[in-house]
Amino acid sequence: MRKFLVSLAVTALVAVAAPAAAAAPVVLAAPDIPVANVQAHLNQFQSIATANGGNRAHGRTGYRASIDYVQAQLNAAGYTTSLHSFTSGGATGWNLLAEWPRGDANNVLMAGGHLDSVPAGPGINDNGSGSAALLEIALTIARQNYTPDKRIRFGWWGAEERGLVGSTAYVNSLSSAERGRIKAYVNFDMIGSPNPGYFVYSASGQPSGSLALQQVLQEPFAAMGVPTELTSVGGRSDHAAFASAGIPVGGLFTGAEVTKTAAQAQKWGGTSGQAFDRCYHASCDTTSNINVTALDRNADAIAYAIWTLSAGTPPPSGPRFENTADVAIPDQSSAESPITVSGVSGNAPATLQVGVDITHTYIGDLVVDVLAPDGSVYNVHNRSGGSADNISTTYTVNASSEVANGTWRLRVRDAAAQDTGTITGWSLQF
């Protein structure tokens, strides 16, 4: 995030807390984004910086290597990617654009964040965090073969730290017709601060339509029981160029150099009297500078916003139950994770959505079953996928013959030797 000398202005927002019970229904349209996958991208950014003079700054080899890493992932997933070049400080810079080739091309939702760091450090929170979350969400869209109503376009911007150069160059390059096709832009810059706050960009003073974005970005935190504050980020990040073009904007932020107050520490935890990010624009902005809980919550919130704003298949109207406790999968053995469903009348639907997140180094070893309360078994994965790692997907199960209430179980069996894994979470959407 570009540094300004002004303090960050915040306005308190009272969030509605979700019930404390682990299996409380939370209505979310999007899949859970495994934070381990986001962290894996951050590890790649750290390795790139380490191999390239300690940073990923504009005009340096580390930035181009970061672009190449992200673009290769997206190309392999089926995105249409392009590089948009510009010049700043006598050096060529690049923006990476990636478009999911589905949805109305005249009705575009854009989501972005800057990929460059300052020269002083690797920029893992600023803004590897936003960049990594966007990359994993883009890959999730591809894995789920998601068909939105709107066209989804991602942007990873260059030279933000030199004054929002890349995003401004991109917006300035668009014709009036091309700008008109972009119905909204949401920005994610610093979402894993080590002493985090939970800030949503305020719609005040922004183009018409920004209030709807603000409200959508608040919704997932309310469902999590996490209070948020509105923040007036002004021209501090890449949303500014889009706002100047009259495009509705929104975004999320976990704080930079400003000090956390006692009231904020009481609300969010962490340390009052200390900056949200003590390593802001410093060499210590490494993978050790990330609050994993904040990263996880924000990645899920971004996914919720993108799914909701792209208005694909309407989300199920029933309640959602989940279990996010880690359960080890032993080698050549089985593991189970329970979810207790209550308060749902009648039977489960014919389109029960079963979200599954499993880390494992060889998914061809795995047999994954959903067990209904009466013990009926529904197989969703049977030793397919070969040597690929991890399962992060949503299955549709016809469970209309099953009573909804009761304890459902996800059973994972490792059917071959040499590999172990973990059930990192699963969910039932009625």
| Strand extents, DSSP E, 136-266 | 150-157, 182-188, 199-201, 229-232, 249-253
For the CA atoms of 132, 137, 139, 145, the dihedral, rounded to the nearest 10 degrees, stands at 180
105 CB contacts (<8 Å, ≥6 apart)?
151, 181
Contact at 8 Å (CB) between 233 and 168? Answer: no
- DSSP character for 426? E
DSSP string, 352-370: EEEEEEEEES-GGGEEEEE
- DSSP character for 129? I
**Signed CA dihedral, 223, 224, 225, 231: sign only:** negative
Phi/psi of residue 384, each to 5°?
-100, 165
Contact at 8 Å (CB) between 195 and 274? Answer: yes
Catalytic site residues? 160
DSSP helix/strand/coil, 384: coil
Max alpha carbon distance in the chain (Å)? 69
DSSP helix/strand/coil, 394: strand
Alpha carbon separation from 156 to 5, 42, 331, 350 (Å, rounded): 25, 15, 40, 40
372 CB contacts (<8 Å, ≥6 apart)?
348, 378, 399, 402, 406, 408
With both helix axes pointing from N to C terminus, report the angle between 130-143 and 292-310 in degrees, rounded to the nearest 10: 50
Chain-centroid distance, C-alpha 367: 28
DSSP helix/strand/coil, 57: strand
Short-list 185, 224, 217, 212, CA closest to 199: 217
319 CB contacts (<8 Å, ≥6 apart)?
25, 26, 27, 343, 344, 430
